[in-house]
Amino acid sequence: MTVETSSAQQPRRSPSPIAVVAHRLAELFRYRDLVRNLVVSELKARYKNSVLGFVWSLLNPLGMMVVFTVVFGILWPNNQIEKYPLFLLCGLLPWNYFSASVVSSMNSIVGNGSLIKKVYFPREVLPIATVLAQLANFLLAFIVLFAVLLIFRSNLSPWLWLLPVIILIQTAFTLGIALILSTLNVFYRDTAIVMEVLMLAWFFLTPIFYSIKQLPTHYPFLGMNLDVHRIAYIVNPMASLVNMYRDMLYYGYRTDPDFFFRTAATALAVLAFGYWFFIRYSSRFGEEV
Amino acid sequence: MIVERSHAPLPATPLVELRAVSRRFVKRAERHRSFQDLFIRLLRGRKPPQDLFWPLRNVSLAVHPGDSIGVIGPNGSGKSTLLKLITGILEPTGGELYVHGRISSLLELGAGFQPDLTGRENIYLNGSIYGLTRAEIDARLDDIIAYAELGDFIDTPVRHYSSGMHVRLGFAIAIYTEPDLLLVDEVLAVGDAAFQRKCLHSIQQYRDRGGTLFLVSHDLDAVQSICKRVIWLEDGEVQADGAPTDVVMAYLNHVAQTEQEKTRRAGIPSSAEIENRRWGTGKVRITAVELLDTDGQPSKVFYSGAPLSVRLRYVAAEPVANPVFGLAIHHDSGAHIAGPNTRFGGLEIPRLEPVGSLTYTIPALPLLEGQYVISVAAVDSVDSETYDYHDRRYPFQVFPGQANERYGLISLGGEWRLDPASESSQADPALEARRPEAVAQTRS
C-alpha cells in the first residue's frame, strides 16, 4: 500500500500577489453566468412575492419623497430650496441604492452559509450579485425620477452623458464597501448592529435633505476654524456623489472636474482595497460561516 | 502552503495531488465572534489559549484520471475535511495541493436551490454554481429534466417540491455537469430505494465512461463494489491506500480490535444496576460467568463461525437434587434467539456438588454480526423455584470474521444446489413460454 506521488514534477513556489489577483479575476469571469443568474433570481424572488411586484420599488422612493417634503417643506417653513421634491429625490435615490446594497450585501456571505460550506465557487459573486440587483432597482427608480423631472421642468446638464459614469463610480464605491463589510460580518457577527448606527449617521452627514451649501464654511472648534463645507466634501465620497447627481439633474451644471476625478479615484481605491481584503480572508469562509 | 487550481485537466498530471497536506482547526469556543468579544479581549490584554486540533495530518495522495477511489474511516477521521480541501471550500494549513479539472460534489443535493424559482430556473442557477456556462446548461437541459422525472413540475416553483423531487433534481444536475472528478459523500443514503439504485447505476455508468470518482461512505459493500482503490483515513492520517479487499479487511480487523479493547476496558456496568437484574432464592448461586473464545480465553468479541463457550461457576450452600442450568441469548434489538439448558441438552444432575462449573460449548457460532447479551439461570427440576437468575448481564459482540453471510441474525448453515435444466423443467410449458430467452440459452 504505497502513497502515489508523481516525482516528475518539480516543487513549485508560491505565486506572486499580482498573479493571485489575476487568477481570482479570471475565476470570477468564468463564473459570470452565476453572477447573472443570482441577480436575476434575486430580482425574480423579490417581485414574485409581492402583489404589486416592482411597482413597490417605484412607490417606495415616492413615499419617502412625500414624507421629506412634508417635514422639510411644510413643518420647517424656512427651507429655501426650490423644487424641493426633485432636489430631494436626486439625493435620496442614490443614497437608497448605497444603503440597501450595504445592508443586504453585509449578510450575503453569512446568509448563504449552507451553500458556502458545501459547494466551491468564488465567494465574491455573492456580494457582487447583491449590489448588482440593487443597481437594477436603482435604474428602475429612474423612471420615477424622470417623471418628477418632467413635472418640474428641470434644466438638465449638457453633460448628462456623464450620468452613467457617475453611476459606475458609485457602484465601484458601493461594491468596495460591500466586500469589506460582508467579510467583517463573517468574523464579527455584530457588524450589522454597529453598521445600523453608522449608516444612520452617514445618512445625516450626507447632503440628502439639505444642501451642502447650507453647511458653514467657518466653524470654531478648539480654537481652530473648520471649513465644515469642504470637509464634508472631501471626507465623504457619498456627499460628492450626491452633488454630482444634482449637478446633472437639478442644477444643470457640468460638475467640477476636480471633484469628479477625486471621487472616481477614491471609489476605485475603495474597490481595490475591498477586493484585496475580501480575497485575503475569503479562504476562511468555509470554516467560519 | 501552496495551492494551485485550474479548471482543465493537464496532460500526464494527476487531477488532484496532495503532498503532505495538513489542516488545522481552532476549536470554536475559543474564537471571538463579535466586536464585543474582541473589545473585551483587548481590554484584558491577553490572548486566550487556543485549543487546536488537526483533522488532517501530513496526507499525501494522488488521484489520476479514471481512478475510482473509496474513502473509509470512522466518524471524525478527516474524510469530510479531505473532500472540502479538494473542492476548495477549505484551504490547507500546510503542504501542497494541486487540483486540475472541474469538480462536482454530491455533498448536499439541491444546496443553493432558490425556492421561489421554478425547477427549470433552478437548473440554470445550480448549474452555474457548479461552474457551467449558460450554453453548457442549455445543451444538458433536456437530459436533466428527463432524468429527474419531474414531468410538468419542472415549471413549478421548487418550494412546492417533495423532498424526493428535490433530491432527484439535485442529483440530475450534479451528474449531468459531467465533471472531471465527482465527489460523492454518503449520497447513497438519500431518496427512496428505487432512486438510490438509479443513483448508484448512474455513478457506475459515469465511472465506466472513464469518469474519476471519489466516494466517501460508511457502506463498505458499496465502496468495494464501486471503487478500484480504497483509502483508509483515521485520526487525520492515511492508514492504508490500495486494493479494496485488502484495505477493507485491514480496516475491519482494526475496528474489531478497538472494539475488543473498549469492551474489555468499559467492561461491567455499575454493581447496583447488576443487582437489579439478578434474583433467586440463592440455594444455588452462579458466582461467575465467562465467555471463552477459540483459545479458551475470556473475551467479549467473537466471530461468526468460530467457537464460543460459556462457563458458569456455581456455589451450592446445601445439596440440591436435579437442578437445571440454562442460558438465554438475546440480540441487542431484544429478540430472544436461543435458550439452551441442561435438561434440553440431556445432562441430568441427580445431586449437585457444593462447588463446580458447567460449560456450554457452541462449536461454530451461527450468530451474525451484531451485539448480543446472555442471561444465565439455575432453577429446580420443575421450574417452580428459581435459585439464581442473571438477566441479560453478559454482553458480547460478534464480527463477521471469515463468514460471508450478512443478512439477519443467524446463519442457518443450509446448502445451495444448482440443478441443470432437466426434462422435468421443460415439462412446464407455461413457465417456458414466459421465459423464451431462457430456452434459447439452454438450447444453444
Residue B55 predicted with pLDDT over 90: no
Task: Grade residue B376 by pLDDT with cuts at 50, 70 and 90.
Answer: very high
Residue B259 predicted with pLDDT over 80: no
Higher pLDDT, B260 or B270: B260
Mind telling me how many Å the CA of A69 is from chain B's nearest CA?
A: 37
Domain match, B234 and B317 both: no
Domain ranges, residue B279? 271-399
Q: How far apart are CA A105 and CA A126, in angstroms?
A: 8
Angle (nearest 5°) at CA A28 between A262 and B115: 110
- The set of cell numbers assigned to B262 is 473498549
Pairing state between β B94-100 and B16-26: antiparallel
- B423 within some domain: no
DSSP states along B129-159: HTT--HHHHHHHHHHHHHHHT-GGGGGSBGG
Q: Which residues pair with B289 in a beta bridge?
A: B312
Burial of B14: CB neighbours in 10 Å, binned 0-12, 13-18, 19+: buried
Residue B48 predicted with pLDDT over 70: no
Q: Which candidate, B154, B208, B215, places its Cα nearest to that of B184?
A: B215
pLDDT of residue A49: 64
Residue B440 predicted with pLDDT over 50: no
- B149 within some domain: no
- The set of cell numbers assigned to B195 is 432512486
pLDDT of residue A96: 93
pLDDT of residue B282: 84
Sign of the alpha-carbon dihedral angle for A18, A20, A25, A29:
positive
Instruction: Identify the domain boundary among B255, B287, B311.
Output: B255
> Distance between alpha carbon B267 and the CA centroid of its chain, in Å?
24
pLDDT of residue A184: 94
Cβ–Cβ below 8 Å for A287 and B34: no
Cβ–Cβ below 8 Å for B89 and A119: yes
- CATH classification of the domain holding B64: 3.40.50.300
C-beta separation of B371 from B341 below 8 A: no
Domain match, B393 and B281 both: yes
Residue A258 predicted with pLDDT over 90: no
- B417 within some domain: no
Highest mean pLDDT among A126-135, B51-60, B241-250: A126-135
Considering only the beta carbons, identify the residue of A6, A44, A286 that sits closest to B14.
A6
Please check whether residue B14 touches A, CB under 8 A.
yes
Domain match, B347 and B392 both: yes
- The set of cell numbers assigned to B177 is 455537469
Average of per-residue pLDDT across A205-214: 86
Q: Which chain A residues have a beta carbon less than 8 Å from that of B32?
A: 188
DSSP states along A39-100: HHHHHHHHHHSSTTTTHHHHHHHHHHHHHHHIIIIISSTT---TTHHHHHHHHHHHHHHHHH
Angle (nearest 5°) at CA B113 between A128 and B164: 170
Angle (nearest 5°) at CA B34 between B31 and B35: 120
- The set of cell numbers assigned to B263 is 469492551
Close Cβ partners of A45 (under 8 Å, ≥ 6 residues apart): B114, B116, B117
Sheet holding B284-292, edge to edge: B284-292, B308-316, B355-362
Q: For chain B, give the mean pLDDT.
A: 83
Q: Per the structure, how many domains does chain B have?
A: 2
The continuous run of DSSP H or E covering B104 comes out as strand B103-106
Cβ–Cβ below 8 Å for B25 and A5: no
Please check whether residue B67 touches A, CB under 8 A.
no
Mind telling me how many Å the CA of B131 is from chain A's nearest CA?
A: 6
Please give the share of chain A, as a percent, with pLDDT higher than 70.
92
Instruction: Identify the domain boundary among B224, B255, B286.
Output: B255
Cβ–Cβ below 8 Å for A1 and B247: yes
Sheet holding B52-63, edge to edge: B2-6, B94-100, B16-26, B52-63
Domain match, B246 and B98 both: yes
Residue A124 predicted with pLDDT over 90: yes
Write out pLDDT tens, residues A13-49: 566 778 888 888 998 998 999 999 999 988 887 777 6
Domain match, B362 and B285 both: yes
Mind telling me how many Å the CA of A102 is from chain B's nearest CA?
A: 19
Q: Say which range, B96-105, B181-190, B205-214, has the weakest mean pLDDT.
A: B181-190
The CA-based diameter of chain B, rounded to the nearest angstrom, is 95
Q: Which residues pair with B16 in a beta bridge?
A: B63, B99
Give the position of cell 417452580: B384
Cβ–Cβ below 8 Å for A5 and B246: no
Burial of A128: CB neighbours in 10 Å, binned 0-12, 13-18, 19+: buried
Q: How far apart are CA A51 and CA B206, in angstroms?
A: 45
Residue B212 predicted with pLDDT over 80: yes
Q: Which ranges constitute the DSSP H helices of B153-240?
A: 163-176, 193-208, 220-226
Q: Which residues of A touch B (CB under 8 A)?
A: 1-6, 8-9, 11-15, 30-31, 33-34, 36-38, 41, 44-45, 48-49, 114-121, 187-191, 194, 283-284, 286-287
Q: How many interchain CB pairs under 8 A, A with B?
A: 116
C-beta separation of A217 from A104 below 8 A: no
Task: Grade residue A4 by pLDDT with cuts at 50, 70 and 90.
Answer: very low
Please check whether residue B25 touches A, CB under 8 A.
yes
- B353 within some domain: yes
Helices then strands (H, E): number in chain A? Answer: 12, 2
Judged by CB atoms within 8 Å, which residues 91-130 of B form the interface with A?
91, 96, 103, 105, 107-108, 111-112, 114, 116-117, 121, 124-125, 128-130
- Among chain B residues, the shortest Cα distance to A190 is held by B34
The CA-based diameter of chain A, rounded to the nearest angstrom, is 87
- B231 within some domain: yes
Q: How far apart are CA A182 and CA B121, in angstroms?
A: 27
Domain match, B211 and B335 both: no
- B54 within some domain: yes
pLDDT of residue B108: 64
Domain match, B251 and B300 both: no
Considering only the beta carbons, identify the residue of A36, A114, A120 that sits closest to B87.
A120
ipTM: 0.80
Q: Which residues pair with B63 in a beta bridge?
A: B16
Cβ neighbours of B346 (radius 10 Å): 6
Q: Which chain A residues have a beta carbon less than 8 Å from that of B12?
A: 8
Average of per-residue pLDDT across B385-402: 85
C-beta separation of A91 from A206 below 8 A: yes
Close Cβ partners of A252 (under 8 Å, ≥ 6 residues apart): A154, A155, A156, A157, A158
Residue B93 predicted with pLDDT over 80: yes
Higher pLDDT, A132 or B9: A132
Please give the share of chain A, as a percent, with pLDDT higher than 90.
40
pLDDT of residue A276: 93
Q: For chain A, give the mean pLDDT.
A: 85
Domain match, B8 and B93 both: yes
Q: Which candidate, B230, B244, B298, places its Cα nearest to that of B70?
A: B230
Pairing state between β B284-292 and B301-303: unpaired
Write out pLDDT tens, residues B291-348: 998 888 888 888 888 899 999 999 888 888 889 999 999 988 778 899 999 998 989 8
- The set of cell numbers assigned to B303 is 466471530
Q: Which chain A residues have a beta carbon less than 8 Å from that of B246?
A: 1
Considering only the beta carbons, identify the residue of B108, B114, B238 that sits closest to A118.
B108
- B152 within some domain: no
Domain match, B187 and B276 both: no
Please check whether residue B246 touches A, CB under 8 A.
yes
- CATH classification of the domain holding B347: 2.70.50.60
Close Cβ partners of A212 (under 8 Å, ≥ 6 residues apart): A229, A232, A233, A239, A243
Q: How far apart are CA A222 and CA A224, in angstroms?
A: 5
Judged by CB atoms within 8 Å, which residues 185-244 of B form the interface with A?
238, 240-242
For an interface test with A, which of B27, B59, B125 has the most A Cβ atoms less than 10 Å from its Cβ?
B125
On the CB side of A208, how many CA atoms lie within 13 Å of its CA? 24
Domain match, B218 and B331 both: no
Helix (H, G, I), strand (E, B) or coil at A190: coil
Q: Which residues pair with B5 in a beta bridge?
A: B99
Task: Grade residue A266 by pLDDT with cuts at 50, 70 and 90.
Answer: very high
- B348 within some domain: yes
Close Cβ partners of B314 (under 8 Å, ≥ 6 residues apart): B284, B285, B286, B287, B325, B352, B355, B356, B357, B358, B378, B388
Mind telling me how many Å the CA of A215 is from chain B's nearest CA?
A: 34
Q: Which candidate, B425, B279, B430, places its Cα nearest to that of B441?
A: B425
Cβ neighbours of B408 (radius 10 Å): 9
pLDDT of residue B7: 79
Highest mean pLDDT among A275-279, B49-53, B88-92, B175-179: A275-279
Domain match, B32 and B57 both: yes
Domain match, B320 and B382 both: yes
Q: How far apart are CA B164 and CA A47, in angstroms?
A: 28
Pairing state between β B386-399 and B351-352: unpaired
Q: How far apart are CA B440 and CA B444, in angstroms?
A: 6
Cβ–Cβ below 8 Å for B108 and A5: no
Q: Give Cα separations from A267 to A81, A170, A172, A197, A271 (angstroms).
A: 29, 7, 6, 23, 6
Q: Give φ, ψ of B403 to 5 degrees.
A: -70, 145
